[in-house]
Structure 1
Amino acid sequence: MISQVRSELTRYLRTETVGGAILLIAAAIALLWVNSPWGHSYTTIAETVLPIKALHLELTVADWTKDGLLAIFFFVAGLEVKRELVVGELADRRRAALPIIAAVGGVLTPALIALAVGFGAPGMDKGWAIPVATDIAFALAVLAMTGSRVPTSARVFLLSLAVVDDLLAILLIAVLFTTTISFLWLLGAAAAAAAWWLAQQRRIRTPLIYLPLALVCWYALHEAGIHPTLAGVALGLLTRVRPDPDEDEAPATRLEHLVQPISAGLCVPLFALFASGVPLNGAVLGQLFTDRLALAVILGLLVGKTLGIFGISWAAIRLGIAKRPADLEYRDMFALSVLGAIGFTVSLLVAELALEGSSVELAKAAVLITSMAASLAGSALLLRRGRVHQARRDARGRQPRLDRDMEEGSTK
C-alpha cells in the first residue's frame, strides 16, 4: 500500500502542471513572507550558512538552493534537450538552429535596450547584463499551467532556447564578475564529465559511478569560479538517449523518470522559495518607473526579450536559415517570446553581483514586477492560442464523423 501511494505521488509530481503549480505557490509564499511582519525570519533562514568544512564550502541556504538544488533541475533539462536533439523535434538541423538563434537574439537585444535606456546611470557599467537571462524554471512552469493545449513543440522550443540563453548568461557572469578562473579545477570538471561520457559508452549502469562523478563535476566547477549549475546541463547532454537492443529504455529516460519528481517536488520549489523573496516597500515601488536603472531593467526584459526572441526567430525562418517548429504558428512563437521576459534566477543573481546598496533591491524589484507582467501577458496569449488549437483539433475530429455519416447516407 505504501509503495503504491509513493508511486502515485511520483507520477503526480512528474506532471508539468502540478510541478508548475508547486513552483508558483512557493514563489508566492516567499513574496508574502518577506513583505510580512515576519520578514526578518525569512532573511535569517536564507542567510544561514550551511558549511561543509572538509571541502571548505560555506554556502548559505539560499546559495545551496541556487547553486546546488538548481543543478538537478538543469540536469533534467539537459536530458530533455539531448533527447530532442537526437530523436525528437530538434533532430532536424534547421529546427535545432532556431532556438539557438532565438537565444542569441534574446540576449543581445535586452542588453542593447538596457544600455540605451540606462546609459550613464550609476551601476549600468555592468547592470546592462541584468535583463539578458530567461528563467527556465518559471517560464516552463507558466507554460505548463496555461499552455497545455498548444502543440508540444512549444515546450521543446522554449526549453531549448532557455537552456542556451542561460548558458550564454552564465558565460557573461564568468566574463564580467569572475576575477580569476582556476583552470586546474576547470580541467578537473572536464575530466569528470569525460569519465561520465566514457561510462555511458561502456554501458556502466551502477549509480556508484555516476553520483560521485556528478558531485566531483559540480564541486570542480564551483571551485573553478564558474556557475556550478552548468554541471547539470553538461552531464545531461552527455547521457545516452538511444536504448540498446537489450534495454527497455535508454539511460536518459530512466534518469529522467527517477530525477524529475525530485526536481519538481523539492529542488525547484525550494529554489523559488529563496529566490523570490524580494522586499517591495513604498520607497522601492515609487522609483520603479522613474529611476533609469529600473527602467533599463524593465524595458530590457519586457521589450528586449520579446522583440529579440521573436524578431530574430521570424527573420531566421523567413531567410531559410532555420525552420519553424512543427505545428507552431508565429502567434504561438510570439506568446512564447513574451514568456522569455520572465527573468528571476540569473537576473537576480546578476543584480546582486553588479550593484551595491539600495540599487540592488531596486533592480530586484524591477525584475520581479516585469517577470510577473510577462507571466500574466504570456499566460493570456497562451490561453487564447490554446483555444484556437483546440478548436482546430475538434474540427478535425468532427470531419471524419461527417464523412462517415455522408457515406452511410449514400448507401441507404
Structure 2
Amino acid sequence: MHKAPSRFSRVRRIFPSTTRAESLRVTEILRKETVGGILLVAFAAAALLLANSPWADAYFALRDFEVGYEPWHLKLSLGAWAADGLLAIFFFMVGLELKREFVAGDLRKFSTAVVPIVAAIGGVAVPAVIYLAITAASPDAARGWAIPTATDIAFAVAVLAIIGSHLPSALRVFLLTLAVVDDLIAIGIIAVFYTESIDVLPLIAALIVIAVYGVIAQRYRQFFHLRPSAAWVILLPIGAVAWALIHASGIHATIAGVLLGFTIPVLHKRADRGPEVGPGLAEIFEHRFRPLSAGFAVPIFAFFSAGVAIGGADGFASAFTDPVVIGIVVALVIGKPVGITVATWVITRVRRIDLDPTLRWIDLIGVGLLAGIGFTVSLLVAELSFDAGSAQHDHAKVAILVASVLAALLASVLLGARNRHHGRIAAAEGATP
C-alpha cells in the first residue's frame, strides 16, 4: 500500500550540500580573507589613532596630498586615489566572484540562488528603511540612506574564519553568496544614485575599451598565443585605460573594476580543454590579484578613509546625538540581521524550502549579524554621501566603525556558541562506533 505523499515531499533544502571542490574553494577564500581582514582592522585602527594624536596634521596632510595629471581628471588626493583607484582592484575581485557564482557557482540555478538573493535584498531594504525612518526629521541626512546597506566581505569572512572552525560549510557558502549579491546591489546603488552627471564621450570610449578588453580576455589563446599567466601583462594597461575613462565620465571609477571582472572567462570552452591547459584566466587572476586586493588595496583604503578626528570623549558622545549616527548603527546592527532572517523565512515558506538538517535559525541570525559589518563599502558610500569635512561626513564614519565592531562582537558571541555546539556534535559523532 502506497503512502500518501507528505506535504513536504516537494520541499527542497536551503543550502544544498556543496561539492568538495566548492568547499575547498570557500575554505581557501576564508583563509586568504582572514589575513586581509586582520590587516583591514589594523590599518583602520592606525588611522583612527593617528587622526586623534599629535601627528593628526601630518596624517591629514598625507591623505590630502594631490598627485596626478589634471587634464585627464586624474589630479587626486592620496585618499581619493585609494577610494577610486585601489578600491577598483577590490571591485574587480567582486566582479570575478560574481561571474564565477553566476556561471559555475550557487547562483547559476534559480532554485539555489533565490534564497541568498532574497536574503540580500532584505538585508539591503530593511536597513535603508530603518535609516530613513530615524533620520526623517533631518532631510540633509537622507542622502546617506545607502550607507548601512553594504556588507564587508573581507571583514565578515575573516571573523567567520576565526570563530567558525566547526560551523557547517553550507553556512559559510551562504555568507559568501549573500555578501557577493549584497555587493552587486551596492554597486548598482553607487552607479544609479551616486552619479550626479555623466560625460557621454568618455563613457562611450570606456565601453569600447572594455569591449576590447573582453574580446582579448575571452580569446587570449588566439591573441599572440598568450598563456593565461601572461595575459594580464596586456590586459592590465587596457584595464587602466578603461578605469581612467570611467572616472572621467563621472561614474564612480570602481564600477570599471566590476565591469572588467565580468569579462574574464570562468569556464574553458570545450575546444580549449586538455591536459596542457591548466587553470583558466579567472583562476589565474584570482590567484594573482586577491592578495593584492585583500593585503594592500583594501587596507590602504581603510587607512585613508577611517581616520576621523573624534574630538575626545565629549566629541564621541556628541556624535551620538546626530540622527546619522543613530540611523547607521541601528540599521547595521539590528536592521541587517532582521532583514536577512525575515526575508529568508518568507522565501522558504513561499517556495517550501526547508533548512539543512545541520542548521538552525539561530545560525542564520548569526550570519545576519556578520552581514552588519559594513566597513569598506559603507565607508565608500559615506565618502559619496556627504561633503568631506562636514560633521555628517565624520559622524557617518564614526557610526560605521562603531556599528561594524559591535556587529562583529555580537556575531562572535552568538556564532562562537554555535561553533562550540557544532563541535560537540562532530566530536560525539566521531566517538560513535
- TM bucket (normalised to shorter chain) is 0.7 to 0.9
Match of 2:82 in 1: 65
CA displacement at 1:119 relative to structure 2: 0.9
Aligned partner letter, 1:267: A
Counterpart CA distance in 2 for 1:120 and 1:26 is 35
Which has the higher mean CA deviation after the structures are superposed, 248-257 or 130-139?
A: 130-139
Query: Does structure 1 conserve the Cα–Cα contact (< 8 Å) formed by 2:30 and 2:158?
Result: no
Which has the higher mean CA deviation after the structures are superposed, 249-258 or 11-20?
A: 11-20
Match of 1:398 in 2: 431
Query: What per-residue deviation string (whole Å, max 9, x for no partner) do you get for residues 24-52 of structure 1?
Result: 22222222221222122211111111213
Which has the higher mean CA deviation after the structures are superposed, 300-309 or 367-376?
A: 300-309
Task: Describe the SS at the equivalent of 2:399.
Answer: helix
CA displacement at 1:312 relative to structure 2: 0.8
Task: Describe the SS at the equivalent of 1:179.
Answer: coil
Across the aligned residues of Structure 1 and Structure 2, the Cα RMSD in angstroms comes to 2.8
Match of 1:236 in 2: 261
Alignment of 1:170-189 (within 5 A): 170-189=187-206
Task: Describe the SS at the equivalent of 2:75.
Answer: strand
Gaps of 5+ in 1: 1-10, 403-412
Query: Does structure 2 conserve the Cα–Cα contact (< 8 Å) formed by 1:139 and 1:339?
Result: yes
Counterpart CA distance in 2 for 1:240 and 1:355 is 37
Matched, 1:140 2:170: no
CA displacement at 1:326 relative to structure 2: 9.6
Match of 1:19 in 2: 36
Aligned partner letter, 1:378: A
CA displacement at 1:228 relative to structure 2: 1.9
Query: Does structure 1 conserve the Cα–Cα contact (< 8 Å) formed by 2:106 and 2:112?
Result: yes
Compared with structure 1, are the counterparts of its residues 347 and 79 closer, same or farther at alpha carbon in structure 2 (3 Å cutoff)?
closer
Matched, 1:257 2:274: no
Task: Describe the SS at the equivalent of 2:67.
Answer: strand
Alignment of 1:288-299 (within 5 A): 288-299=319-330
Match of 1:163 in 2: 180
Query: What per-residue deviation string (whole Å, max 9, x for no partner) do you get for residues 119-154 of structure 1?
Result: 122523323333222233322332333334323444
Which has the higher mean CA deviation after the structures are superposed, 197-206 or 331-340?
A: 197-206
Counterpart CA distance in 2 for 1:175 and 1:241 is 27
CA displacement at 1:103 relative to structure 2: 2.2
Match of 1:379 in 2: 412
Matched, 1:286 2:317: yes
CA displacement at 1:374 relative to structure 2: 0.7
Matched, 1:272 2:297: no
Counterpart CA distance in 1 for 2:252 and 2:357 is 34
Task: Describe the SS at the equivalent of 1:362.
Answer: helix
CA displacement at 1:180 relative to structure 2: 0.9
Task: Describe the SS at the equivalent of 1:15.
Answer: helix
Query: Does structure 1 conserve the Cα–Cα contact (< 8 Å) formed by 2:106 and 2:177?
Result: no
Compared with structure 1, are the counterparts of its residues 62 and 321 closer, same or farther at alpha carbon in structure 2 (3 Å cutoff)?
farther
Match of 1:226 in 2: 251
Compared with structure 1, are the counterparts of its residues 249 and 381 closer, same or farther at alpha carbon in structure 2 (3 Å cutoff)?
same
Match of 1:114 in 2: 131
In the superposition, the TM-score normalised over structure 1's length comes to: 0.85
Match of 2:214 in 1: 197
CA displacement at 1:345 relative to structure 2: 2.9
In the superposition, the TM-score normalised over structure 2's length comes to: 0.81
Aligned partner letter, 2:340: I
Counterpart CA distance in 1 for 2:190 and 2:176 is 21
Task: Describe the SS at the equivalent of 1:185.
Answer: helix
Task: Describe the SS at the equivalent of 1:389.
Answer: helix
Counterpart CA distance in 2 for 1:325 and 1:136 is 23
Aligned partner letter, 2:348: I
Which has the higher mean CA deviation after the structures are superposed, 341-350 or 248-257?
A: 341-350
Query: What per-residue deviation string (whole Å, max 9, x for no partner) do you get for residues 198-224 of structure 1?
Result: 223324343343112321222222122
Q: 2:46 aligns with which of 29, 39, 47?
A: 29
Aligned partner letter, 2:49: L
Counterpart CA distance in 2 for 1:32 and 1:334 is 32
Compared with structure 1, are the counterparts of its residues 24 and 232 closer, same or farther at alpha carbon in structure 2 (3 Å cutoff)?
same
Query: Does structure 1 conserve the Cα–Cα contact (< 8 Å) formed by 2:379 and 2:397?
Result: yes
CA displacement at 1:66 relative to structure 2: 1.7
Compared with structure 1, are the counterparts of its residues 320 and 290 closer, same or farther at alpha carbon in structure 2 (3 Å cutoff)?
same
Aligned partner letter, 2:99: K
Query: Does structure 1 conserve the Cα–Cα contact (< 8 Å) formed by 2:34 and 2:157?
Result: no
Counterpart CA distance in 1 for 2:420 and 2:375 is 29
Query: Does structure 2 conserve the Cα–Cα contact (< 8 Å) formed by 1:20 and 1:144?
Result: no
Counterpart CA distance in 1 for 2:86 and 2:97 is 18
Counterpart CA distance in 1 for 2:49 and 2:310 is 10
